[in-house]
Amino acid sequence: MDIFLTNTATRSKERFTPLNPDNVRMYVCGPTVYDRAHLGNARPVIVFDVLYRLLRHLASENGWGKVTYVRNFTDVDDKINARAAESKRTIGEITAETTQWFLDDMAAVGALEPDHMPRATQYVPQMVAMISDLIGKGHAYAREGHVLFRVRSYEGYGKLSGRSVDDMIAGARVEVAPFKEDPMDFVLWKPSDADQPGWDSPWGRGRPGWHIECSAMAQELLGDSFDIHGGGNDLMFPHHENEIAQSCCAHPEGGFAKVWLHNEMLQVEGKKMSKSLGNFFTVRDLLDQGVPGEVIRFVMLSTHYRKPMDWTEKKAREASRTLMKWRKLTGELTEDLNGETAPTPAVLEALCDDLNTAGAIALMHDLASQGALAELRASARIMGLLADDMGHWVERPGQILDAWVQRLTQAREVALETKNFAELDRLKAVLVGAGVEVQMSKAGVVLSAGPEVDLAELENLT
């Protein structure tokens, strides 16, 4: 089955053909590890996880040997240094802790681990070698402990994002510095003070710029050219333009990435997520509030990756209802214990059509209503949904309600004895307010979650 992907570099939807069918190669820019991943950061992770799953699923049918997925950790960056200074902790502690948070939070939203997760600090020799090579080829120059990339030396600069260098100079927040030949030139290497992380290099003790990290790690793990490069569209300029310039000038015989994929940004309730608007939250915040990782994933996949997506509480509630229903329907499946049922071709076709996850979800609703449950589950699993190890949350309403049944039963006994029903009535009103249907009779207390029940609220009620 053919996959079609919208390539930012050509601005068209193209049939995907791997450069080397023995090894389909994908690189995605990963996080800078100084803080918890915010909800927007989870979007590329989930989108490219679906692509990774799809490529792996189609590998044998399409005669591909293996799929290699690389996503880096940027663990040398001035934001990390600043965080260490303000928190009086070491850089190593901060990056180790944040890296583990990222892995935990992305596992919670059902993302598989990439095949390689290189940390920038482990590839500094490769970065130094690439920078030396660029200097040797006339594409970079050393000045005052810095090394800069000579943007005017690469005629392809700006092609990815469709801008000319002059437009970029006019619009960009480029840093003018006395050691730059041209304001557009960007840093490959910069000097470090004694208290900043640094490595010895031909240009003195220093540290790499952000862009060279991805070029060097991609080169080392995937080679001069590879199939897919992904990331959020905020990275297209300057980060991806700079990656292309560095890699194509250092290895003109390779073409660096063939297909460039960019996800659009995530917003919250119609607004850009920002700390000043008070609508900034992390994946962990949501998980801690009781929003299951599977629900986060479902909401993300209900919008096409090339469209801006809006996170709303309403969508999360709807996703939770749908998943709960699907899990109930498929939970009893005794057939297909070995997962032999294949995903429905129409769902695969939707995913192969530029990752139309929203279309795939619509088709899965049809499968659910037709009672095609084994196909529903197989189709969902291709997208990382309805996995066995992500389903514990559906038991939670039952557990929460069981605790409330006990509490209400006791309160009812006390009320009958004392003839004071005030506390019992209060508890009942609280539950009804949270969307629970309450029935009390001599036979006991029966609670059932209504369609609008808010689990997180229910758990926190007193």
Please, which residue, 197 or 231, has the CB nearer to ligand AMP? 231
Q: Is 214 in the site for Zn ion (CB under 5 A)?
A: yes
The residues, any chain, with a CB within 8 Å of residue 337's CB and separated by 6 or more, are none
Residue 424 contacts ligand AMP per CB under 6 A: no
111 lines the binding site for Zn ion (CB under 5 A): no
41 lies in the site for ligand AMP, by CB under 6 A: yes
Q: 214 is in the binding site of which of Zn ion, ligand AMP, none (Cβ under 5 to 8 A by kind)?
A: Zn ion
CB proximity list for 84: less than 8 A, separation 6 or greater: 90, 91, 93, 94
- Shortest approach of ligand AMP to residue 24 CB, angstroms? 20
Question: Tokens standing for 184?
Answer: 């557009």
Q: Quick check: bond before 238 cis, omega within 30?
A: yes
- Exposed/middle/buried for 144, CB within 10 Å: 0-12, 13-18, 19+? exposed
361: closest CA among 316, 306, 302, 299? 302
| Cβ-based nearer residue to ligand AMP, 218 or 449 | 218
* Window 23-52: contact mask with Zn ion (x via CB under 5 A): ------x-----------------------
Q: Is 40 in the site for ligand AMP (CB under 6 A)?
A: yes
The string over 52-68, giving b where at least 16 C-beta atoms fall within 10 Å of a residue's C-beta and e elsewhere, is bbbbbbbbeebebeebb
Please report whether residue 44 would count as binding ligand AMP according to CB under 6 A: yes
Which listed residue (165, 265, 405, 440) binds ligand AMP by CB under 6 A? 265
When CB distances are held under 5 to 8 angstroms depending on the partner's kind, the choice from ligand AMP, Zn ion, none that residue 385 binds is none
Exposed (0-12), middle (13-18) or buried (19+): which is 283, by Cβ within 10 Å?
buried
Which residue's CB atom is positioned nearest to ligand AMP? 232
How many residues bind Zn ion (CB under 5 A)? The answer is 2
| 187 interface partner picked from Zn ion, ligand AMP, none, CB below 5 to 8 A per type | none
Q: How far is the CB of 393 from Zn ion (least distance, A)?
A: 33
| Half-sphere exposure in the Cβ direction for 188 (13 Å, CA) | 33
Q: Which stretch binds ligand AMP (CB under 6 A): 105-113, 219-227, 262-270, 452-460?
A: 262-270
Report if residue 234 touches ligand AMP, rule: CB under 6 A. Answer: yes
- 285 binding ligand AMP? (CB under 6 A): no
Interface with ligand AMP, residue 231, by CB under 6 A = yes
For ligand AMP, which is the closer residue by CB, 268 or 368? 268
Q: Least distance (Å) from Zn ion to the CB of residue 70?
A: 11
Does position 235 interact with ligand AMP (CB under 6 A)? The reply is yes
**Cβ(34)–Cβ(79) under 8 Å?**
yes
CB of 273 to ligand AMP, least distance (A): 6
Query: Contacts by 388-393 with C-beta closer than 8 Å and gap 24+?
Result: 390/110, 390/292, 390/293, 390/294, 391/294, 391/327, 391/331, 393/292, 393/294, 393/295
Strands 436-441, 444-449: pairing kind: antiparallel
| β strands within 23-181, DSSP E | 23-28, 66-71, 140-143, 146-149
User: Is 232 a residue that touches ligand AMP (CB under 6 A)?
Assistant: yes
Distance spanning both ends of the chain, measured CA to CA: 54
**Residue 92 identity:** G
120 scored as a contact of ligand AMP (CB under 6 A): no
Biggest CA-to-CA distance, the chain: 92
Query: In the complex, which residues of this chain contact ligand AMP (CB under 6 A)?
Result: 29, 31-32, 40-41, 43-44, 231-232, 234-235, 263, 265-266, 273
Query: Which residues of this chain interact with Zn ion, rule CB under 5 A?
Result: 29, 214
